[in-house]
Chain A
Amino acid sequence: MSTDHDHQREPSADERLVHGLLASLAADHAERQDGRVRAAIARIDRHSSVLARLGRFGVARFAAAGALAATLTIAVVLSIGPATNSAYATLQSISNRLATGNRSYRQTIVLTNRDGTDSLREAMVDVGTGRRFVFAIDLDALPMGPRTPGNGGARMQPGVAPPGATQPGMRGENGPPPRPGARGRRGPEHGDRPRADGSMPRGQDGPGLGDRHGAPPIAWGFDGAEYWQIDLAGHVTRSSDPMSMRDPMPLMSGPSSDQDSENDDEELLTLQPLLDRLESGFDLTVVTGTQARTAEGEPLVVIEATLRPEVNAAARPKMAQDEPKDREGPSIRKGRRGMRAPPLPTRVRLVANARTNELVSVVADWPDGSRFLRRIVVERVAPRAFDDAWFSPERHAPLAPPQTRGG
């Protein structure tokens, strides 16, 4: 079938329609149509068989919508092509749907440095009643030092960092921190110290804690009434619109003008849509016989998703074309307001409570497919003993009193 048309002019609606109708003239039209329908039905059947097996345990919406937070990163990562689901939209969905019940998740991102070493980014997501949540970057390795014991989790003043402290939320894995000045790391340079105003110097070029507009955000949440974000300088931004917030972690994009608003709200809320998303590019397998159980004795179901070779191959040339070889670090942003999704992970492992389908962990691996990402883990952990005040920005501020901005 031709894709040809006169590129000098926009075809009229009638010409387009005639073109569409003429497709039925093809000698092998019926055969092709049959193949298309068969392929689509086969995909539905294949997917349904996975869900049917899950159905033994009861496929239902998550018992606790706090689990939705766990899908945040993985859902962004799994966006194929330029991301149509921003993290902000996802969080908005979460905030709209959260049920009751405290949940905590640890999010770990393993980044690959240019020198071959790995770095970690860590964050905690706490979800509470009343749709409240806190997304806080792990700052324990800040130059300004770890949290001050007995001070409600507040941090020590900038400039009193113990010798050898590393930069925010990023450490060398299984060993000493990366050497100062090592290339390819995201965020503020290792060993950088906060400026006089408390902001961190900007990193080399990638998204991350080194922010282009002042101090980097370190925590983000919803206190039951407003969204808020606090940066390293202690500035608090409040707004009723989460889309107005800035990126607290790599892989998140700012508000995009190119969002597929039709499906965003529903897409990421249940296990099934997550599987739907995976199904288009991955082979799904329900791992059986593990007999694994949660600490509470709940049965677990393990789903492994393996990237299909043809999908992987199709993605590579585009990536190679888009990413200059000499570019430092990740190419996950195409512009300030948009984000190009990182390459698809080669393998994704989902562990869910077999009774409730609540996600227990999501692990996405890029064994050799990315110069940037190595692994993302989102895992449910024992809820921290947070109280109501935990969801206010003040509890996540540097020691200096927060300054409030209009949102």
Chain B
Amino acid sequence: MDPRDSQAFEILVREHADMLMAYLRAMAWNDALVEDAFQEAIIVAWRRLPDFDRSRPFAPWLRGIARNTLLGLARKQQRRHEIAGEAAVLHIEERLARIESTPADRFADRLQPLMDCMQRLAPDQREAVELIYAQSLDPRVAAVTAGTTDETFRKRLYRARLQLSECLRIKGFLTGAPA
């Protein structure tokens, strides 16, 4: 590996890692599959770097590789049915491209509207999101921690995600323009 290419590639990967992870997680709900796809996508991207048109943005190119890698892995693991459908994938890609166009240094900085929406959640829903996503608890452990049943907790989390989606839409975060 040419050291300069290697360093440049690593910088690019680190810059886009958050986006890539969000994209893969949006496409597949299976953590192990997502982790494998993340690794493989970076390796495939490195291998195909000579084919990358440097006059074009890196992120869509990387997402294309990641999408194909994930689909290939899912097929091999007979999990294709767990992957988002084509229309959903297109939707996700459009939204991510929109988020990327937001002026900010880091991907995390572009997610401020999400943080704002989090604050608007009902306390039990916010707790559910924090237990699952911030503390990375197993859902059953999270349910116990929240003092409720698995089923109730799952519904609470589901409603929280819907609320966040709606809030982000209102903010124009998912639609491009404030409602």
Contact = CB atoms under 8 A, between A and B. Distances in A.
Interface of A: 1-6, 10-28, 33, 36-37, 39-41, 43-45, 47-48, 52, 80-82, 84, 258, 260, 262-263, 276, 280
Given A6-B154, A13-B92, A23-B22, 11 more contacts: A1-B31, A2-B157, A4-B157, A10-B85, A18-B164, A20-B27, A25-B133, A27-B134, A47-B43, A81-B77, A260-B75
Give me the 9 closest cross-chain CB pairs, A-B, nearest first: A81-B76, A20-B26, A13-B91, A20-B25, A20-B22, A40-B42, A13-B88, A48-B1, A14-B165
Given A22-B133, A25-B134, A36-B17, A84 B157 contact: no
A16 B31 CA distance: 13
Contacts of A2: 132-133, 136-139, 142, 157
B47 interface: yes
Interface in B43-96: 43, 46-47, 68, 71-72, 75-78, 84-85, 87-88, 91-92, 95-96
A3 B130 contact: no
Given A16-B84, A20-B21, A28-B136, A80 B76 contact: yes
26 contacts: A4-B157, A6-B155, A11-B29, A13-B92, A14-B169, A18-B164, A19-B29, A20-B22, A20-B23, A20-B26, A21-B111, A22-B114, A22-B133, A24-B22, A26-B134, A37-B10, A37-B14, A37-B42, A41-B42, A44-B43, A44-B46, A82-B75, A82-B78, A262-B72, A263-B68, A276-B47
Given A4-B154, A5-B29, A37-B42, A20 B136 contact: no
Contact of B165 (A5, A12, A45, A52): A12
Given A19-B29, A84-B76, A280-B40, A25 B130 contact: yes
Contacts of A39: 39
Nearest to B84: A16
A3 to B, nearest CB: 5
Interface of B: 1, 6, 10, 13-14, 17-18, 21-27, 29-31, 35, 38-40, 42-43, 46-47, 68, 71-72, 75-78, 84-85, 87-88, 91-92, 95-96, 107-108, 111, 114, 129-130, 132-139, 142, 154-155, 157-158, 161-162, 164-165, 168-169, 174
A273 B139 CA distance: 40
A276 B46 CA distance: 12
A379 to B, nearest CB: 28
A43 B139 contact: no
Contacts of B38: 36, 40
B13 A40 contact: yes
For B26, B30, B40, B87, the residue with the greatest tally of chain A CB atoms inside 10 Å of its CB is B26
A36 B37 CA distance: 11
Contacts of B78: 81-82
A52 B2 CA distance: 10
Contacts of B130: 25
A331 B48 CA distance: 35
Q: Is the interface of A mostly helix, strand, loop or mixed?
A: helix
Contact of A40 (B23, B43, B129, B155): B43
A5 B47 CA distance: 35
Given A1-B31, A22-B133, A15 B161 contact: yes
B162 to A, nearest CB: 7
A254 to B, nearest CB: 17
A305 B155 CA distance: 48
A290 to B, nearest CB: 26
B1 A18 contact: no
A220 to B, nearest CB: 27
Contacts of B114: 18, 21-22
Given A27-B136, A37-B13, A19 B161 contact: yes
